[in-house]
Chain A
Amino acid sequence: MSAGSSLPYRLRPNKAVDRELFLSLLMRLAPRLTLEKYHYIGLGGPFLEDFRMIHGRIGIAKMTCIETEEQVHKRQIFNRPIASIECVHKSLEDYLDETDFDSPTIIWFDYTEPKGITTQIERFARTIGTVQIGSILRITLNANPESLGKPDPKDISVEAEGDVSEDRAQKPTTQEWRLARFKERLGSLFPSGLTADGMTHKNYGRSLLRALKLAVDKEALSFRDRRIVWALATHYADGQAMVTAALVVCQNDDQAIEELVKGWEFNSTTDAPHRVALPALSTLERLTMESHADARTKMGFDLPKSDMGENPFEVFKKFYRIYPHFSRVEL
């Protein structure tokens, strides 16, 4: 577990919205799939916040929290908000290998480590065939392209808007260098035709999601009883850039779930993830933006553009409904 992932949600508003999006998806599917009978498996971190919320909103009782680090595992047992949560000291992979599920599951592969991305993607893809039909799978992947490594500056040339450094013909740009590493890591999962442009901070998340989609599609070819319906894809950053994707494993001939998902206001697929980049706001700003159609005029100033280049007013408009209010409480 990296340091970043144990920060509480209130310090990471975009992650909070991302999680709300997933909860909103679950609530939409709950009556149709009777989600309360499902088994939820996740990596809760020291505070098990997602467990508390999923139990609260959906009413799932059977929950398993997986953790590899012993001290964190003990802390989880201590912090466990609901007695029915089973805390297991294992890797998620080992747990999945050793468990036969007798009900459909919701599994959140909450990977934060950039290392081993290929293994993570393959593991996720493989699971679509081993869970029961009706299961919901979600993955989080580290989408920081710097995790591909840093080239030695003297091995790199630079290029910007047509201007190039002298050594351009002999040396790759940082993006080209990353592309070569990406290809080495992904092997046959590499999306053919992907270019160096897909390795920038802005686009790397999408490139990862493309590889994920290919891996899942490839696996899906081997199963005739089921079909994959992609429900939600996001790209967000609170410090570390992350992408997520969630899918429903449907009966081969099912139409109803697909319709339900397609009609959902936040439905998004891997080729066009939601970019969740909310501005940091004061309470007054927030209330003003919620209550005024043209908040920009009312406030009389611009908000800084997000790292992902999104317009903060538009992002706010899209997500304010599920943007949680955080406030400080002294105990």
Chain B
Amino acid sequence: MTKTSTDTAQASPTKRFFVSMLTRDIHLADAILDLLDNCLDGAMRLAGGKEVDYALHFVKIKIAGDHFSIADNCGGIPREVAKNYAFKMGREPDDDRDSDAETIGMYGVGMKRAIFKMGRNALVRTRYGDDTFEVPITSAWLAAKNWDPLPINEPTEASEQLDEPGTTIYVNDLYEGVARHFANASFENEVRTAIAEHFTMFLQWGLKVELNGTPVEPVRVEVLVSTDENRPAPYIYRKTIDDVIVSITVGLNTGKSLGDDEDDDAGFERDRSSATAGWTVLCNDRAVIVGDKGRLTGWGDGIPLYHPQFAIITGIIEFRSKHADKLPVTTTKRALDTSSNVWLESLVKMKEGMRIWISYTNQWKNHPRSDQSSHWEDARPMALSMAIETVASRRFTKKTNDFIEFNPQKAKVLPEPEDKKPSSRKVMFSRPAEEVHLVSKMLFDNPDEKPGIVGDKCFEMQLTKAKRQGG
């Protein structure tokens, strides 16, 4: 049996270790998205549980070789929150801020992690109501061994004021790699795309996000829906699982079928489909994953691996909850917690929806999309909630208190090709362009007919001959 001595062993983390661990797993672009998340959480807090009018809010982001800044008018940080929580690394268990709103902040690291990822010197200036103050995070604080609290400074000059309630974060003394990225046009493009995709719902509701002075336009993730009972509609499903409302739709997007397209980037099995093909996962309106075509969302797991033939299939799943910790997301908020029950249960339904459309594209594989188009004529692209609303009123939709489901295959509203021949086989070969031109010229008096058509005609000629010989 031991007894306690007067000595103790140090167990707190060093600042250096902490900061480098914290920033290691997050991508630079995701760090910026984290800051945008905070702006939206701010707007939600400002609305105090009522519906947020996003059209009233803006977020202006600037990335450059020598600094980063983000400015919003989303209500600012209350002084009490700044004093006790906002700058703390991680949330305390008894911290129940925002428990009545569908915010996404939960681990209490986003803002700090983003700042530490970018540079050595930062200033957070905020105005909540009429209370304006700022918190500097300097390289001296970062280099210091202790965990002294950060100062809260109050403005003395007009230039230190903010026009309206909101928050501005400024970071400079950027790390070398960060500066290189911030000055690079393709990185700016990546960030713009990421915002357009991940915040598409908020942008569609009117939130104005500017990146380096240019507004970001939302990327629409939509499926085709017919309003006519007897015409094609996507698979839909909605159910509450463990306090999380899960909504799913799987259907066709407005892309072109690529499988039967003439191959213009020959020899390259590239994915030329729009980003919105595959699965998009939303959590409290943020898109966590966009256009996933891998195992994560079920491809190759009891159903075929993703292939360009499936580029016309889009799936959307949404998780919604007031308890952010029940959502199946990880701390980076751009990845899923795939071991959670909500996710596993949902995945079964996601696959069910995918199978319908995989077999649909298989049936139509050797037919140009124009053959199908008459069936889809009056179909319109719709976002998830609108699609569910529209399809929910169909006669064939199963509805009970806690779930809705519509399966277009079972409702028999999916078109089938007229000459559906189970014995159809694909014949494929490649020849040098000169030779194709030569044959094309002979058959069509035009050297530039499509190779597929030239090949098909050649086959037909031989077939006629074979039949004549009484094959």
Please list the residues of chain A having a beta carbon within 8 angstroms of any beta carbon in chain B.
69-71, 115-116, 118-119, 152, 155, 170, 180-181, 183-187, 190-193, 195, 213-215, 217-218, 220-221
When A and B form their complex, which 5 residue pairs have the shortest distance between CB atoms, in order from nearest? Answer: A218-B186, A217-B186, A192-B192, A115-B264, A192-B193
Tell me which of A69, A193, A214 contacts B214 (CB under 8 A).
Answer: A193
Tell me which of B189, B272, B370, B380 contacts A184 (CB under 8 A).
Answer: B272
Question: Can you offer 21 A-B residue contacts whose CB atoms are under 8 A?
Answer: A71-B434, A115-B265, A116-B266, A118-B265, A118-B270, A119-B265, A180-B254, A180-B274, A183-B274, A184-B255, A185-B265, A186-B272, A187-B270, A191-B189, A193-B196, A193-B214, A214-B185, A217-B187, A221-B180, A221-B184, A221-B186
Q: Are A184 and B264 in contact (CB under 8 A)?
A: no
Q: Are B186 and A214 in contact (CB under 8 A)?
A: yes
The residue in B216, B264, B373 that gathers the most chain A C-beta atoms within 10 A of its C-beta is B264
Q: Which A residues touch B271, using CB under 8 A? A: 187
Besides A116-B266, A184-B273, A184-B311, 19 other A-B contacts (C-beta < 8 A): A71-B434, A118-B270, A118-B272, A119-B265, A180-B254, A180-B255, A184-B258, A184-B272, A184-B274, A185-B265, A192-B189, A192-B196, A193-B196, A214-B186, A217-B184, A217-B186, A218-B186, A221-B181, A221-B184
Q: Which B residues touch A181, using CB under 8 A? A: 256
Min CB distance B421 to A, Å, is 25
- The complex places the Cα of A180 from the Cα of B373 at a distance, in Å, of 17
Tell me which of B266, B370, B378 contacts A170 (CB under 8 A).
Answer: B378
Q: What sequence of 0s and 1s flags, for each residue 126-154 of chain B, a beta carbon within 8 Å of any chain A beta carbon?
A: 00000000000000000000000000000
Q: Which B residues touch A118, using CB under 8 A? A: 265, 270, 272
Q: Are A220 and B264 in contact (CB under 8 A)?
A: no
- The complex places the Cα of A190 from the Cα of B216 at a distance, in Å, of 14
- The complex places the Cα of A221 from the Cα of B452 at a distance, in Å, of 40
Q: What sequence of 0s and 1s flags, for each residue 212-233 of chain B, a beta carbon within 8 Å of any chain A beta carbon?
A: 0011110000000000000000
Tell me which of A152, A193, A215, A221 contacts B370 (CB under 8 A).
Answer: A152
Instruction: Decide: A213 near B185, CB < 8 A? Known: A118-B272, A184-B258.
Output: yes
Min CB distance B235 to A, Å, is 22
- The complex places the Cα of A215 from the Cα of B380 at a distance, in Å, of 34
Q: Are A220 and B255 in contact (CB under 8 A)?
A: no
Q: Which B residues touch A170, using CB under 8 A? A: 378, 380
- The complex places the Cα of A155 from the Cα of B370 at a distance, in Å, of 10
Q: What sequence of 0s and 1s flags, for each residue 49-72 of chain B, a beta carbon within 8 Å of any chain A beta carbon?
A: 000000000000000000000000
- The complex places the Cα of A69 from the Cα of B433 at a distance, in Å, of 9
Q: Which A residues touch B258, using CB under 8 A? A: 184
Q: Which residues of B from 193 to 251 have beta carbons under 8 Å from A?
A: 193, 196, 214-217
**B268 interface residue (CB < 8 Å to A):** yes
Q: Which residues of B from 364 to 417 have beta carbons under 8 Å from A?
A: 370, 373, 378, 380
Q: Which B residues touch A116, using CB under 8 A? A: 264-266
Q: Which A residues touch B186, using CB under 8 A? A: 214-215, 217-218, 221
Please list the residues of chain B having a beta carbon within 8 angstroms of any beta carbon in chain A.
180-181, 184-187, 189, 192-193, 196, 214-217, 254-256, 258, 264-266, 268, 270-274, 311, 370, 373, 378, 380, 434
Instruction: Give the nearest-CB partner of A211 in chain B.
Output: B189
Q: Which A residues touch B189, using CB under 8 A? A: 191-192, 214
Tell me which of B180, B187, B217, B373 contacts A193 (CB under 8 A).
Answer: B217
- The complex places the Cα of A221 from the Cα of B274 at a distance, in Å, of 24
- The complex places the Cα of A186 from the Cα of B214 at a distance, in Å, of 22
Q: Which B residues touch A195, using CB under 8 A? A: 217
Instruction: Give the nearest-CB partner of A194 in chain B.
Output: B217
Instruction: Decide: A69 near B434, CB < 8 A? Known: A192-B193, A214-B186, A218-B186.
Output: yes
- The complex places the Cα of A187 from the Cα of B193 at a distance, in Å, of 12
Min CB distance A264 to B, Å, is 22
- The complex places the Cα of A115 from the Cα of B261 at a distance, in Å, of 13
- The complex places the Cα of A71 from the Cα of B265 at a distance, in Å, of 24
Min CB distance B11 to A, Å, is 39
- The complex places the Cα of A193 from the Cα of B434 at a distance, in Å, of 39
- The complex places the Cα of A119 from the Cα of B193 at a distance, in Å, of 21
- The complex places the Cα of A220 from the Cα of B189 at a distance, in Å, of 14
Min CB distance A75 to B, Å, is 14
Q: Are A220 and B268 in contact (CB under 8 A)?
A: no
Q: Are A217 and B185 in contact (CB under 8 A)?
A: yes
- The complex places the Cα of A213 from the Cα of B189 at a distance, in Å, of 11
Q: Which A residues touch B256, using CB under 8 A? A: 180-181, 184
Q: Which A residues touch B373, using CB under 8 A? A: 155
Min CB distance B194 to A, Å, is 9
Instruction: Give the nearest-CB partner of A213 in chain B.
Output: B185
Instruction: Give the nearest-CB partner of B197 in chain A.
Output: A192
Q: Which B residues touch A69, using CB under 8 A? A: 434
Q: Which B residues touch A214, using CB under 8 A? A: 185-186, 189
The residue in B181, B185, B192, B272 that gathers the most chain A C-beta atoms within 10 A of its C-beta is B185
- The complex places the Cα of A214 from the Cα of B271 at a distance, in Å, of 18
Instruction: Give the nearest-CB partner of B370 in chain A.
Output: A152
Instruction: Decide: A193 near B272, CB < 8 A? Known: A221-B181, A221-B187.
Output: no
Q: Which A residues touch B266, using CB under 8 A? A: 115-116
Q: Which B residues touch A184, using CB under 8 A? A: 255-256, 258, 272-274, 311
Instruction: Give the nearest-CB partner of B447 in chain A.
Output: A3
Q: Which B residues touch A155, using CB under 8 A? A: 373
Q: Which B residues touch A187, using CB under 8 A? A: 270-273
- The complex places the Cα of A70 from the Cα of B270 at a distance, in Å, of 29
- The complex places the Cα of A70 from the Cα of B434 at a distance, in Å, of 10
Instruction: Give the nearest-CB partner of A147 in chain B.
Output: B264
Min CB distance A171 to B, Å, is 10
Q: Which B residues touch A215, using CB under 8 A? A: 186
Q: Which A residues touch B196, using CB under 8 A? A: 192-193
Q: Which B residues touch A190, using CB under 8 A? A: 193
- The complex places the Cα of A70 from the Cα of B271 at a distance, in Å, of 32
- The complex places the Cα of A112 from the Cα of B217 at a distance, in Å, of 33
- The complex places the Cα of A213 from the Cα of B264 at a distance, in Å, of 22
- The complex places the Cα of A116 from the Cα of B373 at a distance, in Å, of 27
- The complex places the Cα of A180 from the Cα of B434 at a distance, in Å, of 31
Q: Which A residues touch B273, using CB under 8 A? A: 184, 187
Instruction: Give the nearest-CB partner of B180 in chain A.
Output: A221
- The complex places the Cα of A187 from the Cα of B258 at a distance, in Å, of 13
- The complex places the Cα of A193 from the Cα of B216 at a distance, in Å, of 7
Min CB distance B264 to A, Å, is 4
Instruction: Give the nearest-CB partner of A221 in chain B.
Output: B184
- The complex places the Cα of A71 from the Cα of B433 at a distance, in Å, of 13
Q: Which A residues touch B311, using CB under 8 A? A: 184
- The complex places the Cα of A213 from the Cα of B181 at a distance, in Å, of 15
- The complex places the Cα of A282 from the Cα of B187 at a distance, in Å, of 49
Q: Which A residues touch B264, using CB under 8 A? A: 115-116, 185
- The complex places the Cα of A167 from the Cα of B240 at a distance, in Å, of 39
Q: Which A residues touch B268, using CB under 8 A? A: 119
Instruction: Give the nearest-CB partner of A154 in chain B.
Output: B373
- The complex places the Cα of A217 from the Cα of B370 at a distance, in Å, of 39
- The complex places the Cα of A118 from the Cα of B196 at a distance, in Å, of 22
Min CB distance A196 to B, Å, is 12
